[in-house]
Chains A and B, each alone.
Chain A
Amino acid sequence: SQQGEEDPQALSIQEGENATMNCSYKTSINNLQWYRQNSGRGLVHLILIRSNEREKHSGRLRVTLDTSKKSSSLLITASRAADTASYFCATGPTTSGTYKYIFGTGTRLKVLA
Chain B
Amino acid sequence: ETGVTQTPRHLVMGMTNKKSLKCEQHLGHNAMYWYKQSAKKPLELMFVYNFKEQTENNSVPSRFSPECPNSSHLFLHLHTLQPEDSALYLCASSQGSQPQHFGDGTRLSIL
Contact = CB atoms under 8 A, between A and B. Distances in A.
Interface of A: 2, 4, 30-31, 33, 35, 40-45, 48, 88, 93, 98-105
B46 to A, nearest CB: 11
B42 A33 contact: no
A52 B51 CA distance: 29
A45 to B, nearest CB: 4
B104 A42 contact: yes
Contacts, number: 57
Interface stretch (B11-19, B68-76, B78-86, B92-100): B92-100
B99 A105 contact: no
Contacts of A104: 42
A3 to B, nearest CB: 8
Interface in B29-76: 31, 33, 35, 40-43, 45, 48, 50, 55-56
Contacts of A48: 99
Given A42-B102, A45-B99, A105-B42, A98 B56 contact: yes
Given A40-B104, A44-B2, A99-B55, A4 B42 contact: yes
Contacts of B94: 99
Contacts of B42: 2, 4, 102-105
A26 to B, nearest CB: 13
A33 B97 CA distance: 12
B45 A102 contact: yes
B25 to A, nearest CB: 12
A58 to B, nearest CB: 12
A103 B43 contact: yes
A101 B32 CA distance: 12
B56 A105 contact: no
B82 to A, nearest CB: 22
